[in-house]
Chains A and B, each alone.
Chain A
Amino acid sequence: MFIFRRRKQKKAGSKPRVNEIPSKALEEIEKNDLTGSIETTVQFMKEMLGDSDDFSVKHFRIFGRFHAVLFYFSNITDKDRIDNEILKPLMYMPEHLLQREMSKQELITVLVEETLFDSQTNRANKLDQLVNVILRGETVIVIEGITEAIHVGTRKIEKRSIKSPETEQAILGPRESYIESIATNIALIRARLPTPDLCVKMTEIGRLTKSMVSICYIKGIANEKVIKEVEKRLSEIDIDAVLDIGYLEQFIEDNPFSPFPQTQATERPDKTVANLAEGRVAILVDGSPFALLVPVVFNQFYQTFDDYSSRFLMGSFARLARMLALVFSLIFPSLYVSFISFNPELLPTEFAVAVAGGRAGVPYPAVIEVLIIEIAMEVLREATVRMPKQVGGALSIVGVLVVGEAAVNAGLASPITVVVIALTSIGSFATPAYVAAFALRMLRFPILFLAGIFGLYGVVIGVIFIFNHMLSLKSFGVPYMSPVSPGDSQGLKDVIIRSPLWWMPKRPAFLQPTNRDRLGEVKNKVLQHSKVGNDQREEVQNGGSKRGHNGSGSDNLN
C-alpha cells in the first residue's frame, strides 16, 4: 500500500512528528527555508537523516574564519573529491582573495565562482531540496550566518563495466550494451548521435525510489503526438518503487491484457539509435540496463540488428528462416494433432500407416500426448533458466533427447510427437525477441485445444482469432500490424526480406515521422561495377575528391 495515503487523513498544520517517518515529515515541513544558524540546521539534518550511520556531519572553517558544516553520506560520495575539491580549497585561502574584504552575502558567490574546484556546484535554500540532494550523493555546505547553502555533486557509485549484451547477441555488429547507470546509458546514445536534434528529457518517477526517467527522441523526426502521449502517460504513473523499465512498461502500454508486447525493450544502444532515427521514442530508467522503445509494430520482433549489418541476401535469408520458425512454433503441434486425429487422409498413405504404428502403443489420444510433452518441455525450460550456466546448457540438450527417448520407450509418447515438439521448441528459440517468443509460446496452447476439438478447422479459427486481435491492437496510436495492414510500400520492403539499404530511401510511414527522407538524393548510387577499376582511379587522380561532402571535416575521432 502506498505510504503517503495516510497523509491525507492527517489534519493540515499539525506538528511534524519528525521522529516517526522522515519523508512524511519532509513533506509537511512548515519552515522550509534555511536559517542562518548552523545549529538548527545540524539538528534538523540529524533528525531527518541521522538515524543512518553513514550520514556524516563535518564541521570546519572556511578560510580559517567562517564556521561551516558539510553534510554527506559517506557511502555514496567520492571521498577524494570531497577532500580535494571542497575541503582543500575552502580551508586554504587562495592568493587572490587574501586582501579582499567581503561580506557574508558575497562569500557565497566568491566560493561558488572563484574558489571551489568543482563544475557541478549549485546554490539552494530550501531544506527539503537539500535533503533530497544529500540523498542523491551530493555534499552540502552550510555556512554560519548565510541563508543559502552550496551543494556540490560528488556522487560516486560502483558501476558495472560495459559488456556485450546478454539477451541480444549479434554476430556482426557492435558489442556494447547498457548498464544500470542512466548517465552512462545516455552517454552511449549521445556518442552515436552527435546532433543537436537529439532531445533528452528527464523526470522522476516513484515515490520511494525517485528514479530518474529519461525520454529521448530526435526532434524533427519523431512525431509530436507520440512524444506528448509518452510524456502524458509517464506523468500519470504514481507508484512507490520503480525498479526496472518493466514496471514503467506495464503502466504505459495500450492493452495490458494482450499477450503481445506493445513496447520493445532493448539492451543495445545501437539498436536504440536505429529506432530513434526511424522516429521512435526511447525511455530509460536509472537502475535498468534496458531501454524501452515505443511505438512498436509486430514485425520488429523478428528483426535483429544483424539483419541490417549484413548484406541484404544474408539478412533476408536469415529473416525468412526466422519467420518460418515463428510460424512453426505457433502451429506445428496443432497441425500434427489435427492431421493425426482428424484428417489422416492428408498424409501420404505409407507415412500415415507408419505413424499409426508409432502411436499404437500410446494409451491416450494425440492431444493429451502432445499436451503432456509440451508441459514437460515448459517446465524443463523454466528449470534451465534457473540453473547456473555450467549445468544449465547441458541439461537442456540432454533433457530433450534423453527424456524424449525415454518417454518413447516407456510408451508415453510416439517418436513423431517428440520430433514435432522438439522442432517447435527450437523454433521458438529462433525468435529474437524474448517477449514475443513468449507470447507465441503461450498462444500455442489455446490453438492446441481448438485443434483437439475441431481439427484443422479449429487451427484456422484460432489463427483467425489471433490475427484479428493483433490487427486491432495499437501501440501509441500506431496499428500493430503495420506495414502489412494498413499497407505502406516503403515499410513493406522490410517485412519479409530485408531490402538493400539503397532501396529504402524513405522512413516507414506508420510512425508518421515529420521528416521522411532517409537517404540523400544524389550520393547513394550503387557502385557501377563496370566502372570500377581504371575509371575510378582516373577520377581520383584528377583531383575529384568527393569526401568533402560529409559535414564536419574534423578528424576528431575520440
Chain B
Amino acid sequence: MEDPKEVTTVQAATTLISTIIGVGVLPLPLFAVRAGDTGAPFITLLGIGIAAFGLFVVTKLGLRHSDKTIITYSEDILGKWLGRFFSLFVIVFFSILTALAAREFGAVVITAVLLETPLEVTVIVMLLLAAISARNTMNTFAYIHNFYIPIILAPVLIIVALSLKNANFLYVRPFISSGLHDSFFGALTIAALFQGSFIMTLIIPSMKNPKSAMKAGWWAIFISGGLYLLLVLATVAIFGAEEIKRLYWPTLELARTTSLPGNILQRLDVIFISVWVIAVFTTIFASYFLTIHSVKQLFRLQDHKMLAYFMLPFIFILAMLPQNIVQLYDVIKIAGRAGLIVTILYPMLLYIIDAMKSKRRKKGESKQA
C-alpha cells in the first residue's frame, strides 16, 4: 500500500537541512580547529564541498531509479544477495548513528543543563520521542521537518549575529594554516557531519517531482553548509583557535557569551539548548526513520509501526555502550569515517556499476536493432 507521492521540493530540502543540522553542531568548531587551526573556516568549506559531492552522487543515483530507495535498487544493481548484504551494512550503520547521536545528546544535556538526571533517562526520552514519531508516514515525516526548520535556523542565526560584536577578526587569520594532507583529513571529519543527507535516498521515491531533487539537494547543502560555516567563523573570531581547542562544545560557549541587549535574559545558552533539542530531535528522528524503513524494505515487511517500537531497545543498548565521554568521541570519530564510506563511496560504487550495466545493455540493444 503505497502512500501518495506528495513530498514537494521545498519539503525535501527542509528535510535534508534539518537532518544535517543536529547534534554535530555543538562540537563542530572543535573538530574544525583541531584539523586546521585558524584555517578552520577554510577546512569547513572543503568539508562542505566533499559533502556536496557525496550528495550529488547519491541524488544522481537515486534519480536513475526514481521509484525505489537504495535498499531496493541496490539489489537491482548488485544482484539480490550482494545487494542485501550491503544494505545490511547500511542499516547497521544508521542504527549506530542514531544511537551515537542520542548518546552524544544525552551527554551534553547531563553535562551542561541537567546535572543530576541520569543519562539513561535523557537518552531514552529522546529515543522514545523519535520512535513514536517514526510511526508516521513518509508525508508526515516531511511535514514535521518542514515545520521545524524556521525554529531551528532562526535562533542560531540570531545568536551568531548578536555575538559578532565581540569578534576579533585577527583570530581568523591566516586563512589557511595547514598543509594539504591535514586539510584533507580535517575536511573529511567535517564532511562526516553531513551524513544525514543520505536520507535523500528515502525521499526521492516519495517526491512529487523527483527531477527537482537535485535542486533541493543544492539548496540543502547551501543552507546547512552556510550555517556551519558561519558558526565556525563566529566561534573562531570570538574565541580564537587556541581557546576552542580547550572547549568541548564551542557553540554552546558561544551561546553563553551572548546576551540579549538590555540584559533581559542573561544566559542564552539555555534557550539555545532548547532549540538545539529540536534540531537533534529532527536528526535522530530522520535516522531512526531511515533505519526502520530500510529494515522494512529489506525484509519485505508490511508495516513499520510495530518495528518502530521493536528497534528501540537495540538502539538504546547501542547508545549506552561507550563508557565515558572520551570514549564516546573516539567512537564517533571512527563512525564518522565509516560513514563516509557508506554514504559516499558505496553510492559511487553503485553508480559506476549501474552506469556500466546500462551501457552494456544499450550496446546489447543496439546490436540487436
Contacts and interface: CB of A to CB of B under 8 A. Distances in A.
Direct contact of A and B (CB under 8 A): yes
Interface of A: 342-343, 345-349, 454-457, 459-461, 464-465, 467-468, 471-472, 479, 481, 484-487
B170 interface: no
Interface stretch (B3-11, B46-54, B195-203, B317-325): B3-11
Contact of B277 (A346, A457, A467): A457
B147 A346 contact: no
A480 to B, nearest CB: 9
Nearest to B136: A472
Interface of B: 6, 8, 10-11, 109, 113-114, 117, 122, 125-126, 129, 132-133, 136, 139-140, 142-144, 146-148, 263-267, 270-271, 273-274, 277-278, 281
B266 A346 contact: yes
Given A455-B113, A461-B125, A471 B147 contact: yes
Contacts of A465: 129, 132
Given A485-B146, A485-B147, A455 B6 contact: no
A347 B8 CA distance: 42
A345 B144 contact: no
Contacts of B271: 346
A487 B6 CA distance: 12
A486 B140 contact: no
A348 B147 contact: no
Given A455-B114, A457-B273, A486 B8 contact: yes
Contact of B6 (A342, A467, A486): A486
A460 B147 contact: no
A346 B114 contact: no
Contacts, number: 87
A461 B122 CA distance: 11
Contacts of B278: 460, 464
A460 B270 CA distance: 11
A485 B271 CA distance: 24
B286 to A, nearest CB: 13
Contacts of A464: 129, 277-278, 281
A484 B144 CA distance: 10
Nearest to A480: B143
Contacts of A471: 140, 143-144, 147
Contacts of A468: 129, 132-133, 136, 144
B268 to A, nearest CB: 8
A457 B266 contact: no
A457 B144 CA distance: 19
A487 B136 CA distance: 19
A542 to B, nearest CB: 49
A343 B271 CA distance: 10
B113 A457 contact: yes
Nearest to A487: B10
- What 10 pairs between A and B have smallest CB-CB spacing? A485-B147, A485-B146, A485-B143, A472-B140, A460-B274, A460-B277, A345-B267, A468-B133, A471-B143, A472-B136
Nearest to A343: B270
Contacts of A472: 133, 136, 140, 143-144
B304 to A, nearest CB: 14
B274 A459 contact: yes
Contacts of A457: 109, 113-114, 122, 273-274, 277
A205 B65 CA distance: 51
B194 to A, nearest CB: 23
A457 to B, nearest CB: 6
A424 B330 CA distance: 47
B144 A456 contact: no
A488 to B, nearest CB: 10
A495 to B, nearest CB: 12
Given A457-B277, A481-B143, 5 more contacts: A348-B265, A456-B270, A460-B274, A467-B148, A468-B132
B114 A481 contact: no
Contact of A461 (B146, B273, B277): B277
B275 to A, nearest CB: 8
Nearest to B256: A345
B274 A456 contact: yes
Interface centre among A345, A346, A455, A485 (most CB of B within 10 A): A485
Contacts of A346: 265-267, 270-271
B143 A479 contact: yes
Given A465-B129, A486-B8, A456 B113 contact: yes
Contacts of A460: 274, 277-278
Contact of B147 (A349, A456, A467): A467
Contact of B11 (A342, A459, A486): A486
